[in-house]
A and B are shown apart, each in its own frame.
Chain A
């Protein structure tokens, strides 16, 4: 079984691509999540409608179809993206749509009484949002954001469709070139899991840091 071990480098290259995709996709997803999530609770119908359309469209169609479109169909509209760009775009927009609902839910989960306290203190809508509602909502969003990031990590495995040499893809290559099935798959499973553990550990740490003081423990 040493035959395939020489290919470990290839798999690690794939891991790098996967990490890159996950990070860049997460950043895009985060931006979209806040834009669309806050758009959903906007006072203006147009903004709400736009946000809802975005969310329902990207949650509604499958990520496969979105990838295919971003990579193979957008060029016909004159927009030719590199595989990495197309991957980040599709993954970020897709996961961003899910995370937008998390943002919306978290904003709504802040009790009505907090909004009323803002009114009673004569804070403006944006002031209340910025200083009172969002800081509290952020803590509610965080754990689900962690799950979303893991979902994104896992979704990167389908980018092989557009010839991106990510972990899963490299596992396939190694398998074809060496004839060994078990080892490449097992090793990428372990790498994915390790990455997922790192994400959830990071989010938990962040959450603990942000929750300080809220539970009555001395800061």
Chain B
């Protein structure tokens, strides 16, 4: 029945020799080198695990956040490893692996934090404040849940645009995970900007590899290898150079994150 169909999925990946992976255009979760080669914490972990599963390579395609889950559902990708943080609603839409990359939320603001933001609630309180976030991302939802009205949450297509919009004063804050913001700051090297991290009241989130509902067998196989790597320390070796904490990922579980309210 379903079980054998699921096994078939892994068999199929083995046969074709690669898995199709959706990644985001967001360092350090992903990085694209000048020669077009994809690296970064998320794809590196995925590549290693698939290798262990007998799938030699991954073919990564950069995708908009908004296009990832529909792409997964439509069978465009076999897995999404893009810093899609686990949340109850998402857990209902896709099948997550155990946690991989964990990060807290941060905000990018002008030097000196002129409006004094510490949390998303602060933005909600200031009737003239605007915050930028990726469309369909965790930060957008956090801001909305904190009471920032829809028209003050600006959907920004990518990190570089968000940074630029803060520099140009189009938005007061741009919110992304801490490491993403730090990477942006490093590249921009702009003394007029400042990072607020972590955002108060925002939980630490962890992403996992997201599979299509129905591919649970593949996901389970993935989990087994992930657990082995976590134990052996290889997991930490891959992600820590990018700034991620392996400990954070190992101190929580999918079940906890998916149940959180």
Direct contact of A and B (CB under 8 A): yes
Residues of A participating in the B interface, judged by any CB pair closer than 8 Å: 6-7, 9-10, 13, 71-73, 75-76, 80, 83, 160-163, 165, 169, 172-173, 175-179, 181
| Contact B74 A177, beta carbon cutoff 8 Å | no
Number of A-B contacts (CB under 8 A): 67
* Complex contact B25–A71 (CB within 8 A): no
Given contacts A75-B74, A163-B22, A177-B32, 9 further A-B contacts (CB under 8 A): A72-B67, A72-B76, A75-B76, A163-B63, A163-B76, A165-B61, A176-B25, A179-B163, A179-B184
Residue B114, interface by CB 8 Å:
no
- Measured between alpha carbons, how far is A72 from B35 in the docked complex, in Å? 29
Contact of B34 among A7, A76, A176 (CB under 8 A): A7
Q: Which residues of A contact B160 (CB under 8 A)?
A: 175-176, 179, 181
A7 to B34, CA, bound (A): 5
Q: How far is the CA of A66 from the CA of B159 in the complex (A)?
A: 27
**Which residues of B from 49 to 83 have beta carbons under 8 Å from A?**
61-64, 67, 70-71, 73-76
Q: Judging by beta carbons under 8 Å apart, are A179 and B188 in contact? A: yes
Are B27's CB and A177's CB within 8 A?
yes
Which chain B residues (15-51) contact chain A, with CB distance < 8 Å?
22, 25-27, 31-32, 34-36
Pairs A–B under 8 Å by Cβ, sample size 18: A9-B36, A10-B32, A10-B34, A10-B36, A13-B36, A72-B67, A72-B73, A73-B74, A83-B76, A163-B22, A163-B63, A163-B67, A172-B25, A173-B25, A175-B160, A176-B27, A176-B160, A177-B31
B31: chain A residues within 8 A (beta carbon): 177
Given contacts A10-B32, A173-B62, A177-B32, contact A162 B67 (CB under 8 A): yes
Q: Would you call B75 and A75 a contact (CB within 8 A)?
A: yes
Find chain A residues with CB under 8 A from B71 CB: 71-72, 163
The yes or no answer to B11 lying at the interface (CB within 8 A) is no
